[in-house]
Amino acid sequence: MSFSEADLAALWLTLRLASSVTFVLLLLGTPIAWWLARTNSWWKGPVASVVALPLVLPPTVLGFYLLMLMGPQGVIGQFTQSLGLGTLPFTFWGLVVASVLYSMPFVVQPIQNAIEALGNRPLEVAATLRAGPWDRFFSIVLPLARPGFITAAVLGFAHTVGEFGVVLMIGGNIPGETRVVSVQIYDHVEALDYGQAHTLSLLMIAFSFLVLLGLYGLQRKQASPMGKEH
């Protein structure tokens, strides 16, 4: 199994993109998941639906509207241009923005489920001991909901690695800038270079299998103490 320089560049860019997106998603997704898990507001349904929209929305649709919004005439594009940053489409940071939106449910939902599973009791007990909101979050929520955060990080990373439609719409196919592994495989197939396509595809299959194996192992580890109690 050998990789060309273009393959290695695509692999490095994919890892860089997935790491950046996972970091941003954990920062943005945690407060959203917290609010969804704790609120009784009427807005919970609409907000949860917007967060989950990428699960059912074709990636090309999301990519198209992001392209319009971030382009020279779009609201986001005009804002970034006014800051002297240019436009985001066909740049690495454009891929980050698109991937954050597209992978959002894979991070928010596991964290939300983990927080909801805690219930109110641990937080109420901590409050009676005069623990502040931040103290309760870092001392109670994070340790008890840690498996949910780990699952969210792994799923967010893995989903970003496997993206194709959104990254192709927003990033195009620029070597070293926006050409990720999924686009590189597409290029190999278009060039009838099935050997290199097989090499990268097998790597992606192995990566996906190991991710799922790790997640199932984590879930089994979580469930085993409960099984012993019953």
**CATH at residue 70:** 1.10.3720.10
pLDDT value for 223: 64
**Alpha carbon distance 141, 139 (integer Å):** 6
* C-alpha span between 178 and 163 (Å, rounded): 12
CA nearest to 21, candidates 166, 158, 114:
158
192 has pLDDT over 70: yes
Query: What was the pLDDT predicted at 225?
Result: 54
Q: Is the pTM of this model over 0.85?
A: yes
Instruction: Measure the CA–CA gap between 207 and 196, rounded to whole angstroms.
Output: 17
Tell me, yes or no, whether 9 lies in a domain: yes
List C-alpha distances in Å: 112 to 14, 39, 104, 192, 210.
Answer: 27, 11, 12, 44, 24
Cβ 102 vs Cβ 166: under 8 Å: yes
Residue 70 falls inside a structural domain: yes
Quick check: is 160 in a domain? yes
* Rounded CA separation 230/224 (Å): 10
Pair 155, 214: CB distance under 8 Å: no
Q: What is the pLDDT of residues 131-157, one digit of tens each?
A: 777 777 888 888 888 889 999 999 999
Q: What are the distances in angstroms from CA 140 to CA 61, 126, 148? A: 40, 8, 14
Domain count, the chain: 1
pLDDT digits (tens, 9 = 90+) for 10-57: 999 999 999 999 999 999 999 999 999 988 889 999 999 999 999 999
Residues 210-219 pLDDT 10s: 888 888 887 7
The answer to whether residue 45 sits within a structural domain is no
- Is 230 a member of any domain? no
Specify if 124 maps to a domain.
yes
Please say if the pLDDT value at position 167 is more than 60: yes
Q: Is 229 inside any structural domain? A: no
Residue 95 belongs to a domain: yes
Q: Containing domain of residue 191, as a range?
A: 5-38+50-223
The average confidence (pLDDT) of the chain is 88
